[in-house]
Amino acid sequence: MAITSANQLELLQIADAVAREKMIDPKLVIEAMEESLARAAKSRYGADMDIRVSIDRKTGRATFTRVRTVVEDDLIENEKAELTVAQAKQYLEDPKVGDTIVDEVPPVDMGRIAAQSAKQVIIQKVREAERDKQFEEYQDRVGTIVNVQVKREEYGNVIVDLNPGEGVLRRNDKIGREAYRPGDRIRVYIKDVRREVRGPQVFLSRTANEFMVELFRMEVPEIYDGVIEIKACARDPGSRAKIAVISYDSSIDPVGACVGMRGSRVQAVVNELQGEKIDIIPWNDDAATFLVNALQPAEVTKVVIDEEAERIEVVVPEEQLSLAIGRRGQNVRLASQLTGLDIDILTEEEESKRRQAEFEERTKLFMDTLDLDEFFAQLLVSEGFTNLEEVAYVEVDELLVIDGVDEETASELQARARDFIEAQNAKAMEAAREAGLADDLASFEGLTPQMLEALTADGIKTLEDFATCADWELAGGWTVENGERKKDDGLLEQFDVSLEEAQDMIMTARVMLGWVSPEDVVGTPDEETVEQPEEAGA
């Protein structure tokens, strides 16, 4: 068809109608029309020509133009769309490289094939505009709850109608025993929106911790207003959950506000989550107090925190052990997720036996190494001394507080401890030398003689050998074999070398060897750490 005055206004009317139907900007439809007309014109005038079409937004008149660019003499690749400075002088007074020459060409008479091609271009452009609109709309709504209608189920995944577009509730994002039929209305949490080849994909969830948090925000006005905050949440979807809450108004009880009158507020959330039991726990900045709250309804006798290892030991009465652990370890697992700490639960009897064993082991250590009688060795352990280094290098005043210890005795104790340590160091260094320890590794700062002995026993004898190690090989880690996590012992794990310390030492060795520059080390994670995520996550 030819673009005549009779159908010029029809272009604008069509663009407006399509834009209204698809709820997109009419300008995008007109741009799609311009591109389709330009493509049809190229099929008429030649694909090498740079033909452009501009549709007047008021009159609907389509103007066809040919564009040619001025380039240097030896850079012409397309004679139909480029010309030299000399050739351009007949069109421009003072042409320069980069200038363009625009000539209007007659409108094309679109045949059936060209019209069909133009239609496909417009459909494609409109579809892309729809996808962009959907992506932008739902990207802004990530982290919110929407009410959707179920359309169908595919291989365990539920496809829902978002109007416009579709979303997917994947199998692992459904609460286990839930089943849906087409037409059911459900509430879901928008977890993620991604651009993919077939259009934006909206991923939904009912198992995410954030879904529960948003449900409480909808049911509890104090949370919505910011007076109460949910500080942490842990879920076993469909079974049980724990949330930790704090109130910024001393007159409002955070737990009571979330429970509501006769449990009305929490019950509304429970009903939405298919009967998932929810423990509402008061948040506390003190880790021990917070953990005692998190393990409710079990009673806790004592809490011991190892902040460096991010581990915590909880002692409970024998009759409370099963309650603290919970069915299939559920209670302690949720409490661990809530607090962010690894939790070991012991009974009072188990803790007593373990502490007695530790006391006897340390007593024997001091008796054997310092040539002390049992009573004196027990005094040292009772005062908190755990190893020879503490005795050897502690301030003398800390030894003088022990009953029966004067300055002479304290000096003698420290001298014996230092002599023993030095003898052990000399023995370890001799063993390492006999195993082939090189001077460059022997002089490396941070490695003790005992560490060097352990390294050489495993065949690491030079600085170059050491630099090729992975951090998890030194500090220990975990690997997964056939779906089971397996512990890998680190060469230096017995010396309490952390993953970060191992990484620092390895990178220092690589810098000394010139493998990497000091600038590259700053802020750069160890390559081995990146490649071995399971091993690094001890």
Count of beta carbons in the 10 Å neighbourhood of residue 514? 7
Residue 444, both tokens: 């490396």
* pLDDT for the residue numbered 522: 57
Contact between residue 276 and residue 235 where contact means Cβ atoms under 8 Å apart: yes
Averaged pLDDT, groups of 10, the chain, 538 residues long: 49 70 71 77 77 78 82 76 78 80 74 58 69 74 86 84 80 82 88 75 87 91 91 89 91 91 90 88 87 84 71 82 84 86 81 85 87 85 84 83 81 87 90 91 91 92 92 80 71 85 90 84 46 38
* pLDDT for the residue numbered 233: 92
Alpha-carbon distance of 425 to 451, in angstroms, equals: 10
Return the sign of the alpha-carbon dihedral for residues 156, 162, 167, 173. Answer: negative
* pLDDT for the residue numbered 453: 92
Alpha-carbon distance of 449 to 404, in angstroms, equals: 35
Residue 455, both tokens: 């390294």
Alpha-carbon distance of 321 to 413, in angstroms, equals: 43
* pLDDT for the residue numbered 538: 31
Instruction: Identify which of 287, 292, 290, 341 has the alpha carbon closest to the alpha carbon of residue 315.
Output: 292
Alpha-carbon distance of 240 to 326, in angstroms, equals: 11
Q: What distance, in Å, lies between the first and last C-alpha atoms of the chain?
A: 71
Contact between residue 240 and residue 334 where contact means Cβ atoms under 8 Å apart: yes
Beta-sheet strands, E only, within 95-212: 100-104, 145-154, 157-161, 166-169, 185-196, 199-205
Alpha-carbon distance of 532 to 478, in angstroms, equals: 9
* pLDDT for the residue numbered 4: 40
Residue 381, both tokens: 């352990």
Q: Beta partners for 310? A: none
Instruction: Identify which of 62, 56, 83 has the alpha carbon closest to the alpha carbon of residue 72.
Output: 83
Q: Read off the pTM.
A: 0.56
Backbone angles phi, psi at 353, to 5 degrees: -65, -40
**Coil vs helix vs strand at 41:** helix
**Coil vs helix vs strand at 516:** coil
- Which residue type does 433 have? R
Alpha-carbon distance of 246 to 254, in angstroms, equals: 6
